[in-house]
Structure 1
Amino acid sequence: MHDAKTSTQYALLQPNSHWLSNLRMALRDGDRKPVCQMICEFIFLCMKMRELPVHYFTSFLYKKGQKNLMAHLGKKEMNLIQEIICDAGAVDILGNKLSFHQYYALHNISLPHLLGYNIYESGFSCKDGNWVRYDISDFDSGSEYLSFVLAESMNKSIFIKPITGSCGHSTKKIRISSHFSLQQMVDTLTFLSKGSFLIQDEIIQHMDLGILNDTSLNTIRMDTFKARGKRPEILSAFLRVGLSGSHIDNIQAGGIFVPIDIENGRLRAYGRNKLMKGARTYSMHPDSEILFSNFQLPFFADVKQLALDAASLMPQAMIGWDIAISNHGPVLIEGNARYYDMQLSDIAYGGYRNNPVFQKALALANSVNKK
């Protein structure tokens, strides 16, 4: 019988392990360093970080021109820091989209319009200030619920999101038209009854962001750190942009992430997609052909203030905030804490170990870990 450590090492060496897939992708990249250099650098990071440095590939450290290897964080370190400093109260609120919406609505934070929600067969919508329950396992009651929710939409398009979960999994977009068929009604009610979901009105993004790609809601990821009893601070930000035809900006779906200069809200010169999506570098959006360099994001000062306001209402934590920008200003979509993937933020910044705010979080984690 293997102990936990041996089992982990054994799993890492299996042919189907993620790190081997990452290695194959890196070796196919025409912009990679020589293989001998890659091997030496990988071994160096293994010894220095005392973990299998998969981030050597996923953070693009294998590419030509990447010199400061130790500036970037490994997965083990990211998770450990978050585990140590993140208060459980933040996880409880942020991990449930319904709790998240109710909490921040009480504090007048700008949020997507909530049309309804369901817990399996029980659907709820707000009529005249009162939440009304429907049995969506019954077609008549369920169709009444869905018809009311659709009629309440101001933007003629809704998003159905799982109450728990992230990365766009199980997210469904419905465009509202006069031709919403009986079969569509049945299919949607069946989908809802198999889980717990929020139904939100679509956010109409600012026209400037629509220029980049108008089929997806292009959102900002902004990381903040708040120590107990202190004011929150911003670490970094990047923009996620979807590809033409996709209704989500998710990087897992092949979208692009572009670093933002947090001082002025302008995009940096180059964006990227993830290693397993090609590890490409883009100076412009591949579909709209809009250049990223110096592209000015609207309402950026308000975006930063929204992230700080949201973080100030949380206990001690590092949080990645997802923020959309409408024609009227920023809208808070969700927050991610404890074990959320900081890697894209780390890449976009150029290595979090060089980030002065992250250094404060690291110092706090080290001080707590010594006790």
Structure 2
Amino acid sequence: MKFFLARFNQIREDNNPKKSWSKIIKEVITLSIQNKRIPTYYVKTFMYLESSGNYKDFLTLDEIIAINSSPKLHRLEYTTLLKNKLASALYFEKCGLSIPEMPSYNVEKLFFHKSKFERLETTADLIQFFRKVMQESQKDSLFLKDHGAHGGADCFLLKLGDLEAKLEEIEPILLNGSFIHQETVLQHAELNKIYGHSLNTMRFETYIDRDNKKHIRTCYIRFGANGSVIDNSSAGGIGVPVNIETGQLYEKGFKRASGLNMANIYLEHPNSEHPFEGFIIPHFEAAKQLVFDCMKFVPDRYIGWDVAIAANGPVLIEGNGSPRLRESPHGFKSSAIGREILNEIYSK
């Protein structure tokens, strides 16, 4: 009950132009009858806004599952590769793609650096290991990511200045988990003007059609907020749609609802107060080219690619074989590519 009350309050308190209450209720009832379940995504995707367009253009939960699990779009060898951050990082490195340098990694208590590995048991072992790795690779920080985590979970920033305190904090997680240890990407100064505490990545959703033509269906950039070092929506990040042709941000940023926390819409970043509309992402054409290069090496037909912009150009952070299909501000089925994808996966 608290969940539904939170969603109701979001609609009520949202000051953006909304559909009438009668229209909202009619749409929710219609979707509930058609799908035989309450459309909890109605509020999360801002379908109650006047600007959202046709409510029937938005994906149902069953359609999202169908796209992400369709054997017509996905092959097991590619989705498995992308789910494992260690395997994909090693593969992308061999492909010659622009990715963060990975000086070390661990599989539970086995820690690998260069051509050697050693077994670590204590915080003191960890401190000695990471100090050596940072000194030899000339890095003053490393970003640690769990091999199989997604949505920004189990990610840690190690800084040489507070190495001991951080490793004491995460020692049980690190020694009982498996992590890649990558260099910290130095974000382009222009993006730091909007939010500089996290690496703000673009998500490109790509599609390869039946004629093997490659498309970028949509692109948006995620900004961290409130001191967070990750930009994911699960950590309160804000997603802003990007014009695929120009690399310019659109007017509004969207913060997704999570649990009892309400979604929100922003015209500017809530911390820096930098407006979104008209901001041009540096090296955007090079970022698009990087994504098309990625599709050559992982030709799964629908993938979400996360790309950061460093001072000297784009950097691939990771690929996602089951991306969270982006629909704000308009529904997936509002585009010709979206309709084509659904027609194919449901055709016999």
TM-score of the aligned structures, taking structure 1 as reference length: 0.85
What corresponds to 1:8 in structure 2? none
Which residue identity lines up with residue 189 of structure 2 in the other structure?
M
What corresponds to 2:22 in structure 1? 36
The within-5 A match list for 1:70-149 is 70-84=56-70, 85-126=73-114, 131-137=115-121, 142-149=126-133
1:346 matched to 2:316? The reply is: no
**Offset at residue 67 of structure 1 (A):** 4.0
Which residue identity lines up with residue 200 of structure 1 in the other structure?
Q
**Offset at residue 354 of structure 1 (A):** 1.9
1:196-255 alpha-carbon deviations (Å, 9 max, x no partner) = 111111000111111111111111011001246713211010010111411111112222
**Offset at residue 331 of structure 1 (A):** 0.6
1:52-102 alpha-carbon deviations (Å, 9 max, x no partner) = 322211111123444411121122201112211221122111000001101
The alignment's C-alpha RMSD in Å is 2.3
Distance in 2, Cα, partners of 1:110 & 1:262 = 21
What corresponds to 1:3 in structure 2? none
What corresponds to 1:274 in structure 2? 256
**Offset at residue 313 of structure 1 (A):** 1.5
Q: Determine if contact 2:44/2:257 at 8 Å carries over to the other structure.
A: yes
**Offset at residue 152 of structure 1 (A):** 3.9
1:84-134 alpha-carbon deviations (Å, 9 max, x no partner) = 1221122111000001101111110111110211111101011xxxx2111
262-271 or 32-41, larger mean C-alpha shift? 32-41
Distance in 2, Cα, partners of 1:184 & 1:294 = 39
Distance in 1, Cα, partners of 2:32 & 2:179 = 42
Distance in 2, Cα, partners of 1:236 & 1:180 = 39
**Offset at residue 26 of structure 1 (A):** 3.4
1:152-201 alpha-carbon deviations (Å, 9 max, x no partner) = 45452211110101111111112212x644x5554454431021111111
1:254 matched to 2:239? The reply is: no
The within-5 A match list for 1:208-247 is 208-227=190-209, 230-247=212-229
41-50 or 139-148, larger mean C-alpha shift? 139-148
Distance in 2, Cα, partners of 1:309 & 1:245 = 33
What corresponds to 1:292 in structure 2? 276
What corresponds to 1:361 in structure 2? 341
What corresponds to 2:287 in structure 1? 303
1:255-286 alpha-carbon deviations (Å, 9 max, x no partner) = 21111000010001111211344332211112
Q: 1:149 to 1:188 in 2, by over 3 A?
A: farther
Q: Determine if contact 1:136/1:189 at 8 Å carries over to the other structure.
A: no
Distance in 1, Cα, partners of 2:315 & 2:14 = 38
Identical-pair percentage: 29
What corresponds to 1:6 in structure 2? none
What corresponds to 1:26 in structure 2? 11
Which residue identity lines up with residue 45 of structure 1 in the other structure?
L
TM-score of the aligned structures, taking structure 2 as reference length: 0.90
What corresponds to 1:5 in structure 2? none
1:12-57 alpha-carbon deviations (Å, 9 max, x no partner) = xxx46x6665345434545554443322111122334555322211
Which residue identity lines up with residue 7 of structure 2 in the other structure?
N
Q: 1:155 to 1:289 in 2, by over 3 A?
A: farther
1:331-356 alpha-carbon deviations (Å, 9 max, x no partner) = 11111113x311xx2214x2211222
Structure 1: segments with no counterpart, 5+ residues? 1-14
Distance in 2, Cα, partners of 1:67 & 1:364 = 24
Q: 1:47 to 1:154 in 2, by over 3 A?
A: farther
Counting matched residue pairs gives: 343
Which residue identity lines up with residue 328 of structure 2 in the other structure?
I
Q: 1:54 to 1:184 in 2, by over 3 A?
A: closer
Distance in 2, Cα, partners of 1:247 & 1:152 = 25
**Offset at residue 146 of structure 1 (A):** 2.0
Structure 2: segments with no counterpart, 5+ residues? none
Q: Secondary structure at the match of 1:275?
A: coil
Distance in 1, Cα, partners of 2:50 & 2:109 = 54
What corresponds to 1:205 in structure 2? 187
Distance in 2, Cα, partners of 1:210 & 1:286 = 14
Distance in 2, Cα, partners of 1:287 & 1:193 = 35
**Offset at residue 364 of structure 1 (A):** 2.3
1:176 matched to 2:164? The reply is: no
